[in-house]
Structure 1
Amino acid sequence: MRILVTGGAGFIGSHLTERLLSMGHGVVVLDNLSTGDMANLAHSKDNQNFEMVIGSVRDQALVQELVEKCDAVIHLAAAVGVKLILEKPSLSIHTNVNGTENILHAAANGNKLVIIASTSEVYGKAEKVPFSEDDDLVLGATANLRWSYAVAKMLDESLALSYSYEKRIRVIIVRLFNTTGPRQTGYYGMVLPNFVSQALKGDPITVHGTGDQSRCFGHVYDAVESLTRLLNAPNAIGHVFNVGNDEEVSIYGLAEKIKKKTGSKSEIVKKPYSEVYGFGFEDMQRRIPDVRKLEQFIGYRPRTSLDQIIDDVIAEQRAAMGIAPVADSGKNDAAA
């Protein structure tokens, strides 16, 4: 197939582009490089089946042109990261909603398959875990701008399912849970690469809040595997899927694990949310995906261990900093 990947110069998008090219597909990447980086596509740019277009998903005419010459779209482009969302909430809403509407409108003209990347953020403050795709979504007050991203992504999902119902286009929605791994930057608040960077530099490892809040981290390779399998799963059309690992860890526990694995002397410090994000910031205590539906439909579920994910991020950052690899004191944590 010829596949349009929006946000293809980003963290997940660049890994997905590499995988699709290795499978023999043609790939057109659309990215405005606001958070993406051409360096992420170093392994793809010389492939004869690769095309790079610098532009925005908010450009309706450009989106229409690109979708027309492709067989499928994997729509990853979005304004993401807690830091960016709180700094520019209107940008998050406009980019996410307008971009998704442009993709769906263009795809409807040729009945193109569209995979829409949503987020675990849509579950909001729900307390029932693990989160299942048909669960109620519980968000906070609109006065708290922290929820603007979740609201935008909920609208993305509703738009996609509405187009599927009204115009019969083929749509699949994936809710990504804390995907991480090589190439992810911590600049926009992504916790795992931030912790690794702080540990390797000997800076304080900064935990926001009490550190008791927990998350599940999935490897980008598992997310890419899930997306490529969904491309070839006609039974998945019209459905919503959680995509993530269900291995839970507290944020303070994550900091301890990274400190041990890096052999760092860094101090782990706690910083109140009010000092980081301002008064009234809300966070979710737990976020665990139920991935049984994904496994049922594609015969696969993300299983890469947290230890392996951390090892991969440490190795990449050590190489970038010119730090020689060292014996990993936390290597046998899982067997201990």
Structure 2
Amino acid sequence: MDHRSDLGALAGATVLVTGGAGLIGSRITARLRDLGARPMALCTMNAYPAPVYADLFGVRVGNPDVILGDVRDTSLVRKLVADSDYVIHAAALADVAACTREPLAAIDTNVAGTQHVLDAVAATDRVRRMLFVSSASVYGDGNPEETDRPELLTMRQLLESVHGRIPPRFHEFTHMRPKSVYGNTKAWGEQQTALVLGHVGTSYAIVRYFSVYGEPQTVKPHSHSWVVAWFAARAHLGLPLHLNGGGRQVRDLVHVDDVAEGTLRALTSARAHTETVNIGTGVPTSVRQVAQLVRAHYPSTPLLTTPLPAGDPLGGYAATRRMENVLGWKPQVTISDGVARYVRWLQDTPGAVPDWLRREPAAA
């Protein structure tokens, strides 16, 4: 069943999107405008250089629906929430490596910042629903009791495995076992959302994004997230693709267009009340497979095995039955089509490759 009618509730509604100037947030706010809503994007706009926001994401300070500010600003958040019919809380230090390097910064933004938003939502009866944006990082590597010993696998399982490991399918009822600071902060945010808003009776929903990618995503220095953007940018420059840990990590890569659509369906679906829903494709893809998809467009690109970074889970993929039942929807963009779209966009927008990456030696 397609629950398109649920999205009609957004027409004329004011929707606060924290982190609304980033890749995902800007896509959500654009979709909200298409649906006749009035988005308000609250963002610090300090995760990227200013030209990235303006030239790639199409977000500029001074736009009437862009508020330059911080979710830790209590008075500002309370004012914006009090004027909102819906709240999407997506603001976060959303980089696994950055959170590992600076755990106090992660706690300050992802924990304290979330509490400020929850307090503001709990203090008003105007908000129809708050949606908390979580992450598949809360699953870690899945259930440690599940064996990955190759000698215990059937031949079919071996053929379906990645380097002798069957990638786990993460169900929403799977016990959370985060392996990173970032994953810990998201697990806390989920539980705190249920605790605070459940206590006051405000409707909420939680979405767990899997590996988001798609144009106009761009890479950050010292990060190992956003594998499609990393591989495409490096291949575009003739640099080798770094396969951390040999590229055996498994990801469920979901295009940003699908993420925006799934987010708004979770915001409005009657069935999503108090639910936790995966936003993923249900298709496991290894990092090595992503490299091969990118290399198909740049055949001379070398592959280089590098160490597995701290906090980088071996991962798994989304169980999608609840998403399909609750939202009446499933993602539309396949990984092969999405990678091809990204490569075409990068070739048409070569300025999206940052200067600091251009300065990297070709042998690196």
Relative to the length of structure 2, the TM-score reads 0.80
Q: Which amino acid in the other structure matches residue 120 of structure 2?
A: A
Aligned length: 308
Say if 2:86 is the partner of 1:69: no
Which residue matches 2:230? 194
**Alignment match of 2:320 (pick from 291, 295, 301):** 291
1:199–1:205: 8 Å Cα contact kept in structure 2? yes
Q: 1:215 Cα shift?
A: 1.1
**Alignment match of 2:345 (pick from 303, 310, 316):** 316
Q: 1:284 Cα shift?
A: 2.6
| 1:159–1:282 distance in 2 versus 1, CA, 3 Å | closer
Q: Secondary structure at the residue paired with 2:317?
A: coil
Which residue matches 1:326? none
Relative to structure 2, which stretch is displaced further, 121-130 or 98-107? 121-130
Q: Which runs of 5+ in 1 are unaligned?
A: 141-146, 324-336
**Alignment match of 1:93 (pick from 87, 95, 107):** 107
**Alignment match of 2:270 (pick from 228, 234, 244):** 234
Superposed, 1:143-182 pairs within 5 Å as 147-182=180-215
Q: Which amino acid in the other structure matches residue 83 of structure 2?
A: K
Which residue matches 2:26? 14
1:199–1:264: 8 Å Cα contact kept in structure 2? no
Q: Which amino acid in the other structure matches residue 106 of structure 1?
A: A
Q: Deviations over 1:12-60 (max 9, x none)?
A: 001111110111100111000121524345279898xx51110101111
Say if 2:133 is the partner of 1:121: no
2:235–2:301: 8 Å Cα contact kept in structure 1? yes
1:186–1:192: 8 Å Cα contact kept in structure 2? no
Superposed, 1:135-150 pairs within 5 Å as 135-140=174-179, 147-150=180-183
| 1:186–1:132 distance in 2 versus 1, CA, 3 Å | same
| 1:292–1:163 distance in 2 versus 1, CA, 3 Å | same
Say if 2:47 is the partner of 1:35: yes
**Alignment match of 1:130 (pick from 154, 161, 169):** 169
Q: Which runs of 5+ in 2 are unaligned?
A: 1-12, 147-167, 353-364
Q: 1:125 Cα shift?
A: 2.5
Q: Deviations over 1:45-91 (max 9, x none)?
A: 898xx511101011111100111111111111110122312222211
Of structures 1 and 2, the one with the larger relative CO (CA 8 A, separation 6+) is 2
Q: Which amino acid in the other structure matches residue 138 of structure 2?
A: V
Tell me, in whole angstroms, the C-alpha distance in 2 between the residues paired with 1:98 and 1:265. 47
Q: Which amino acid in the other structure matches residue 85 of structure 1?
A: C
Q: 1:117 Cα shift?
A: 0.2
Relative to structure 2, which stretch is displaced further, 5-14 or 178-187? 178-187
2:250–2:287: 8 Å Cα contact kept in structure 1? yes
Tell me, in whole angstroms, the C-alpha distance in 1 between the residues paired with 2:91 and 2:111. 11
Q: Which amino acid in the other structure matches residue 9 of structure 1?
A: A
Tell me, in whole angstroms, the C-alpha distance in 2 between the residues paired with 1:314 and 1:17. 24
Superposed, 1:260-275 pairs within 5 Å as 260=296, 262-273=297-308
1:92–1:152: 8 Å Cα contact kept in structure 2? yes
Tell me, in whole angstroms, the C-alpha distance in 2 between the residues paired with 1:186 and 1:13. 17
Say if 2:251 is the partner of 1:208: no
Q: Secondary structure at the residue paired with 1:300?
A: coil
Superposed, 1:49-64 pairs within 5 Å as 50-64=64-78
Relative to the length of structure 1, the TM-score reads 0.87
Q: 1:133 Cα shift?
A: 0.7
1:18–1:43: 8 Å Cα contact kept in structure 2? no
Q: Secondary structure at the residue paired with 1:210?
A: helix
Q: Secondary structure at the residue paired with 2:84?
A: coil
Tell me, in whole angstroms, the C-alpha distance in 1 between the residues paired with 2:111 and 2:256. 24
**Alignment match of 1:257 (pick from 287, 293, 296):** 293
2:57–2:216: 8 Å Cα contact kept in structure 1? no
| 1:139–1:13 distance in 2 versus 1, CA, 3 Å | closer
Q: Which amino acid in the other structure matches residue 170 of structure 1?
A: S
Which residue matches 1:185? 218
2:26–2:59: 8 Å Cα contact kept in structure 1? no
1:67–1:106: 8 Å Cα contact kept in structure 2? yes
Identity %: 27
1:20–1:26: 8 Å Cα contact kept in structure 2? yes
Tell me, in whole angstroms, the C-alpha distance in 2 between the residues paired with 1:43 and 1:91. 25
Tell me, in whole angstroms, the C-alpha distance in 2 between the residues paired with 1:313 and 1:46. 29
